[in-house]
Structure 1
Amino acid sequence: MSDYLADHPEVKSIRVAAADLNGQARGKRIARRFAGKVAEEGTRFPYSVMNLDIWGEDIDDSPLVFEAGDPDGVLRPTERGFLPMPWLSAPSALLPIWMFHEDGRPYDGDPRQALAHVLARYTARGLTPVVATELEFYIIDDRGPDLRVPKSPVSGKRRHQAETLAMRQLDAFDIFFTDLYDACEAMDIPADTAISEAGPGQFEINLMHQPDAMKAADDAWLFKVMVRGLARKHGFAASFMAKPYADYSGNGLHSHFSVLDADGRNIFDDGGPEGSAALRHAVAGCLAAMPGSMLIFAPHASSYDRFVAGAHAPTGIAWGYENRTTALRIPAGAPAARRIEHRVAGGDINPYLFIAAILGAALNGIEDAAMPPAAVTGNAYGQSLAQLPTSWGAAIDSFAACPQIPRIFRPELVTNLLATKRQERHYMAELSPEEQTQLYLDTV
């Protein structure tokens, strides 16, 4: 890690940061002269910091705060090491960290540790998940009372219209996207294709598949942090909020995943178009955990605005082949690339919890040799299907009651997340829709 700083004498300051339950970066600024100490020994801050609400407030009556004396956990660098922060004016470096107890045990309330727990289950079975993510976001001029599309740097015009796969949208904001791709390259985030999406000023960028699910989650988290910061540097906001505009498409975060065995063979591949029994077991596990996981896929008050029939966000619990109206899609293509696309989550998720939830559910199904219902053909919105929870309160209750959730997440994380979301739901009722939008716009 010290090699990075030696190779970058221009770096003036260090940030150390971990993702809390909402995916917010929590940490410290450290003078460069003390960077070696934090790289070797880590740093400390209270366990309760990993369990703050969306406003950054302590959770009322949390056992982590006054009852326990608000003790510190130990935060150690992740294997990612130092990374540049291209959205800042002064040359700076970010050191991602995660939380442990004093004796070296992982802290179960840390969302990155939650994913590590799921991945350890795969490793114990000689399996390796391969994961890719697709992230949608809006760029928004939020300087006035109403949200607007930023002016095109080329024409000076605002285009309030759908621009699906419009090259002129990508070209109009070419300077921003060139900076974005340069930042991804510098941060080792495997950004691939960029497209303009159905909403005005909406885009999607795919992060390439990789046989390291933890790095895929790190990449998605760092990408969100970076894009929000870089957009502000260019004079506008970038929002992963599930639905910043009532009349336009929401932001989704889809994930594609497959699973390799110890010999590197995709266990979802049986040589044909339908995939193996293991694929169907994984589908069954994902469907069984889906209602209980909705609090992970749609974690905020505004998340539920996205789930409207016919609006490209799934509402029924179903799967299908090459069917984008279902919650789980099995894409066509070469059998060796057979995979599951999980289409439920919004862009406002915590990537660590999201990937832990889908991979944990899939492994539950594989371990149980569970079988799913028949694949859906045609428009899933028009069929009689079990439905996902349609409100924040229902998702909280479903998460608390779902028998699949304790198989995926440790008890402390479940308890902390429920307390966080119940508190947020209570206080969110005091805010107007406009105030909620201002809160979530470039926070989540």
Structure 2
Amino acid sequence: MIRNAGWLGEHPEVKTIRVAAADLNGQARGKRMSARFAGKVEQEGTRFPLSVLNLDIWGEDIEDSPLVFETGDQDGVLLPTERGFTPMPWLEGPTALLPMWMFMEDGRPFDGDPRQALARVVERYKARGLTPVVATELEFYIVDDSSRQLRVPRSPRSGKRRPGAETLALRALDAFDAFFTDLYEACEEMDIPADTAISEAGLGQFEINIVYSADALKAADDAWLFKLLVKGLARKHGFAASFMAKPYEDYAGNGMHTHFSLLNEAGENVFDDGSSAGTDLMRHAIAGCLHAMADSSLIFAPHGNSFDRLVAGSHAPTRICWGYDNRTAAVRVPGGASKARRIEHRVSGGDVNPHLMIAAILGAALIGMDDTLKAPPPITGNAYAQNLPEMPGDWGTAIDTFAASPLMRRIFPEQLVRNLTLTKRQEFRDWAELTPEEQVELYLDTV
């Protein structure tokens, strides 16, 4: 569904619009303007400094970035994405958002834009005659953050707080039925194909699946917009929602699992060989994901809090391995009908930039196929208890590994690698000066 100024004309109640793009941290950076100028911005775009897509998590300039003073902090041109206008149901007044992406003055894509990075990867698949089909599963907590101690909110139905985790409990969903009803209605309005909702293992933790799309850019956009929606709508209901990787020390972290398969030009799933094993091409893709996993860990765990989630025995993967229908592995091949054979990448936290995450996963799989990499044998049993390669165990190591990686430069433009490295080194320096309480406060609402 592509909405344009015609859609806006059918909604005269919308008096203001937002234009926004995702920066490297997935933060929405943009402007508010009167709806009377919507046609102009849709046709001509608008202008931001290129450096706006390369701010740190606090919204500060990157001190040593060549995008700032070295080049005079020059502008780029923001143009609308294919999505067009979409409602913003979490705001009080009727408002529409126009998602944008960044181009240079001469019309070239801006290499520092995470959405442009994903588009480059998708084009490489297109050149191979392949179309990625992508779905995401997003976990989040709903939180009462009105005091210094984070707690699950009181149920609007009973007025009580549920003190324990309730995995797959209908009563946990029903306790916040008004919120989830509004959320699903808002997803329909925004053309976000939200599917199943379940309660998860943490206090007030839930997961919602966004169904498969044969457009990887839309899948990433859906996840990005869904995070904005959930956080905004929760505040409207009187509590917070957080995709922070590890808001509670004693409970499971938030993940964002990604499933993908590949279609050829005939619309056939190239991972399907009619058996539970899958094709050689699938195993090459898995090998690529494993080969690039350590180097791309900064994409999957981009913040100081992210690595608190990646600990053994926590339902988050720490070993670089794969297996059939094995949730302790970093890469899982789910069971079920062979026509739905797919790869599940389980490493990412809920705090990621969806565009960078999907680009990293698909780009790594493409390296595996291009180089005909051989996957190691699939594991069986508990991956945490086995002697297997491990991902970087801390943020600083992840930053250094990403910065030095030739593999990342096969997936991402050099400028994006540089910009993200500079951003994370600045955040790493400043984050270390925060108290644990300040660290939670920083990430709870932003990521």
Shift of residue 145, structure 1, vs aligned partner: 1.2
In the TM superposition, residue 171 of structure 1 has moved relative to its aligned partner by: 0.5
Preserved contact between residue 328 and residue 342 of structure 1 (Cα < 8 Å): yes
Deviation by residue 1:297-324 (Cα, 9 ceiling, x = unmatched)? 0000000000111110000000000100
Task: State which drifts further: 397-406 or 303-312.
Answer: 397-406
Structure 2, unaligned runs of 5 or more: none
1:94 match: secondary structure: strand
Letter in 1 for 2:171: R
2:266 to 263, 267, 272: 263
Q: Return the match for 1:232 from 210, 231, 235.
A: 235
Q: 1:118 aligns with which of 117, 121, 130?
A: 121
SS at match of 2:111: coil
Q: 1:289, 1:402 within 8 Å by CA — same for their partners in 2?
A: no
* Structure 1 unaligned spans of 5+: none
**Which amino acid is the alignment partner of residue 424 of structure 1?**
E
* Residue correspondence of structure 1 range 31-430 to structure 2 within 5 A: 31-430=34-433
Q: Structure 1 residue 33: deviation in Å?
A: 1.1
What code does the residue aligned with 1:114 have?
Answer: A
Paired residue type of 1:106: P
1:367 is displaced (CA, Å) by 0.7
The runs of at least 4 consecutive aligned structure 1 residues that moved more than 6 Å come to: none
C-alpha contact (below 8 Å) 2:64/2:422 kept by paired residues:
no
The one-letter amino acid of 2:33's match is I
Shift of 1:159: 0.8
Letter in 2 for 1:155: S
1:156-175: CA deviations, max 9, x gaps? Answer: 11112111000001111000
The residue type equivalent to 1:363 in the other structure is L
What is the identity percentage for the equivalent residue pairs of Structure 1 and Structure 2? 71
Root-mean-square deviation over aligned CA pairs: 0.5
Cα displacement (A) at 1:442: 1.1
**CA separation in 2, counterparts of 1:250 and 1:19?**
24
Q: Secondary structure at the match of 1:363?
A: helix
Alignment-mate amino acid for residue 100 of structure 2? I
| Aligned-pair CA distance for 1:401 | 2.1
SS at match of 2:71: coil
Contact 1:326 1:380 in 2 (8 A): yes
Q: Identify the residue that residue 438 of structure 1 maps to in structure 2.
A: 441
- The one-letter amino acid paired with 1:167 is L
1:6-39 Cα distance to aligned partner (Å, 9 max, x none): 1100001000000000000000001111111101
- The Cα offsets for residues 360-415 of structure 1, whole Å up to 9 and x where unpaired, read as 00011011111111100010000000101110001011111222111100000000
CA contact (8 A) 1:292 1:404 kept: yes
1:338-366 alpha-carbon deviations (Å, 9 max, x no partner): 00000000000000000000000001101
Q: State the distance in 2 between where 1:61 and 1:367 align.
A: 36
**TM-score of the aligned structures, taking structure 1 as reference length:** 0.99
Q: In structure 2, the residue corresponding to 1:209 is in which secondary structure?
A: strand
Report the 3-state secondary structure (helix = DSSP H, G, I; strand = E; otherwise coil) of the residue aligned with 1:301.
coil
Q: Write the distance in 2 (CA, Å) between the matches of 1:257 and 1:197.
A: 23
Amino acid at match of 2:5: S
**Which letter does structure 2 place at the counterpart of 1:104?**
G
TM-score (norm 2): 0.99
Task: Name the CA distance, whole Å, in 2 between partners of 1:353 and 1:224.
Answer: 15
Q: Quick one: which amino acid aligns to residue 432 of structure 2? A: A
Report the Cα offset of residue 443 of structure 1.
0.4
Report the Cα offset of residue 281 of structure 1: 0.1
